[in-house]
Amino acid sequence: MMLAPCRWLVIALFLSGSTAFAGDADSPDPTPPGTLDATPLPPLANPNDPSLPAKELFGRKLKPFAGPAHAIGGYADGCLEGGTELPISGPAWQVMRLSRNRNWGHPKLVAFLESFATRAKSVWNGLLVGDMSQPRGGPMLTGHSSHQIGLDADIWFKPMPDHVLSREEREFDSAINMVASDRLGVDPAVWTPARTELLHIAAGDPLVSRIFVNAAIKKQMCKDAGLERAWLAKVRPWFGHAEHFHVRLNCPADSPECKPQPPVETGEGCGHELDYWFSESVLHHEFPPEEPGKAKPGLTLAKLPHACRRVVMAP
């Protein structure tokens, strides 16, 4: 298939661009409605087929691989051993879209979310938590290319309501788009500076490597932030991410096989660094040009770290 010239331009910019891009993509609607009667996927005819996309294997595992916690491989090509589950309701958070069974992570991520939710109480009623990882991490059948090693979490920009959400509400309530229709700024009808404070609290945690948001949101946070601004360096513009922010933790010390991200560039990233995102060729893209918002179809088990075979093949 021929690609439109604008796509080539974007690809060129993308390839020459910042390493901050590495390994993140959510679908344009990362919060599609779920279902109340999820049917299990049919078993695979040949799970040992070497050409089988690894997402078919990881997407069928409903329980974690027990054992000590290890994030194995890269954020967009790895898996998770010893994953734990974020309880679906806590004092300052609730998990959305339970049918996706993606509220799993490295124990450090679960502990971070619990503590962040509590610490943010002064500015934010509570977190609505979207996708983290599958029980054993790995590529997913729908949605992300990252979120594979239990260190990524999507959190809605909509605050948690004051009641315990029903299963129906968790599956069908909509997220709120923070970005104006021209995509040049936030929608003033919904944006509040409390959201900047919320990300300030998250970014201040040394466990956090990066936070991905839509460029219009980063631009607004640059305006909202006061004199203390160093934390803005961790807030990275990315495609999509208009209804949620994506928190990525650093590789934990217990995970020697975890591939770390390069450190974020110094500087708050509020100047000309943002221009690229508002250029005509990029502004209306929902995805990085090489990523249709899904795990790479060719990502077979052979392309993941060797240990991931053991993790996904165990019963």
Residues forming beta bridges with residue 212, ordered by sequence position: 236, 246
Question: Shortest Cβ distance from residue 169 to Zn ion (Å)?
Answer: 21
CA distance 245 to 116: 14
Supply 153's token pair. Answer: 């979490």
Does position 154 interact with Zn ion (CB under 5 A)? The reply is yes
Q: Which stretch binds Zn ion (CB under 5 A): 53-61, 106-114, 134-142, 147-155?
A: 147-155
CA distance 210 to 248: 5
CB nearer to Zn ion: give 200 or 246: 246
CB within 8 A of 31, min separation 6: which ones? 96, 97, 130, 156, 174, 175, 243, 244
CB nearer to Zn ion: give 241 or 259: 241
CB within 8 A of 163, min separation 6: which ones? none
CB nearer to Zn ion: give 99 or 281: 99
CB nearer to Zn ion: give 28 or 193: 28
CB nearer to Zn ion: give 25 or 312: 25
- For residues 140-160, one letter each, b for 16 or more C-beta atoms within 10 angstroms of the residue's C-beta and e for the rest, the string is beebbbbbbbbbbbbbbbbbb
CA distance 194 to 211: 16
CB nearer to Zn ion: give 236 or 246: 246
Question: Shortest Cβ distance from residue 231 to Zn ion (Å)?
Answer: 19
**Secondary structure (3-state) at 15:** helix
Question: Shortest Cβ distance from residue 100 to Zn ion (Å)?
Answer: 12
Q: Which stretch binds Zn ion (CB under 5 A): 20-28, 91-99, 109-117, 306-314?
A: 20-28
Structural element, H or E, at residue 2: none
Task: Candidates 14, 20, 23, 26: give the one binding Zn ion (CB under 5 A).
Answer: 26
CB nearer to Zn ion: give 26 or 224: 26
Q: Which stretch binds Zn ion (CB under 5 A): 6-14, 115-123, 146-154, 277-285?
A: 146-154
Residues forming beta bridges with residue 213, ordered by sequence position: 237
Q: Which stretch binds Zn ion (CB under 5 A): 54-62, 68-76, 148-156, 182-190?
A: 148-156
CA distance 20 to 205: 19
Question: Shortest Cβ distance from residue 59 to Zn ion (Å)?
Answer: 17
Does position 246 interact with Zn ion (CB under 5 A)? The reply is yes
**Sign of torsion over alpha carbons 193, 195, 196, 200:** positive
Q: Which stretch binds Zn ion (CB under 5 A): 21-29, 117-125, 133-141, 182-190?
A: 21-29
Size of the site for Zn ion (CB under 5 A): 3
Question: Shortest Cβ distance from residue 210 to Zn ion (Å)?
Answer: 11
Structural element, H or E, at residue 147: none
Nearest to Zn ion by Cβ — which residue?
A: 246
Q: Which stretch binds Zn ion (CB under 5 A): 197-205, 242-250, 275-283, 292-300?
A: 242-250
CA distance 236 to 141: 26
CB nearer to Zn ion: give 108 or 246: 246
List contacts with Zn ion (CB under 5 A): 26, 154, 246
